[in-house]
Amino acid sequence: MVSSDQRRRQLAREKYARQQQRREEHRRKAKRRNTVIAASLAVVLAAGGAVYASVALTDDSSKASDSAAGENPTGTPTPTESESKSPEPKLTVDKTATYAMALKTNEGAITITMDAAKTPHTVNSFKHLADKKYFDGTKCHRLTTQGIYVLQCGDPKGDGTGGPGYTIPDENLGALGKAGADGTVTFPAGTVAMANTGQPGSGGSQFFLVYKDTKLPPTYTPFGKIDAAGLKAVQDVAKAGVEGGAGDGAPKKPVTVEKATVTKK
């Protein structure tokens, strides 16, 4: 005859066995789910080179209320500029002149030459913002080291969601030639171009510095060229990599724009 203590121990063992079985089943399901996710991501990464590039340099403030707005299917952050809340600054630059934007950063000086004849609205906006000390004390919040090779700056919030409260039109989009079969053109190392929301005419204050030849769709206004010393400074930041060893994120070597000025050459 089975005693009450033996019966309790038997029931306890049976309960433990059922719990273990449920845990094992849960682990198997989780493993299958993760395998499917990993396989799907691999397909996206393998087939989505042009798609990845087309979203990778947009910026997120227009969707900042949505916590998922800053990610695309590959998990790449997509910084966006803020929706227009005020009119674009009045055009006051000399549209026949060349301007220099000097960025004093903690990693060295970066000078960007801008041609107002080709990108008057963009140059005008940068002069307007620099004169108001808009960029002073801001971080270059994003570095990419895989697929595209850029350092992205110009966000007063430092997280990819900031903008000046207005937008400017796209300009000079044909400057880098006709797009190839993959829908991209080459942005040569040293090019400076505008980030945007992925929609036409949605640029604000965020811009990216190309430190290595990069293929992107011709939808980002190329408005400047980095001087040799500035390009080397950006390349040195890129060599240090991204925080956590990822290919896209905050630079491991933080970059702060201490002061920005725009002057006519």
Mean pLDDT, 10 residues at a time, over the chain (265 residues)?
A: 62 64 61 42 35 44 33 32 72 98 98 98 98 97 96 95 95 97 97 94 96 96 98 98 95 98 97
Give bridge partners of residue 101 from the DSSP assignment.
112, 262
Q: Which two tokens stand for residue 212?
A: 């290595």
Nearest to 86 by CA among 193, 5, 188, 163: 163
pLDDT of residue 18: 67
Kindly state the helix (H) or strand (E) to which residue 99 belongs, with its residue range: strand 98-105
Q: What does the alpha-carbon distance between residue 211 and residue 149 come to, in Å, rounded to a whole number?
A: 6
The ranges assigned to domains in the chain are 48-264
Please say whether the beta carbons of 144 and 247 come within 8 A.
Answer: yes
Q: What does the alpha-carbon distance between residue 153 and residue 112 come to, in Å, rounded to a whole number?
A: 13
pLDDT of residue 19: 63
Q: Parallel, antiparallel, or unpaired for β 222-226 and 108-115?
A: antiparallel
Of the CA atoms within 13 Å of residue 225, those in its CB half-sphere come to 10
pLDDT of residue 85: 74
pTM for the whole structure: 0.73
Please say whether the beta carbons of 168 and 201 come within 8 A.
Answer: yes
pLDDT of residue 213: 98
pLDDT of residue 99: 98
Q: Which CATH architecture has domain 48-264?
A: Beta Barrel (2.40)
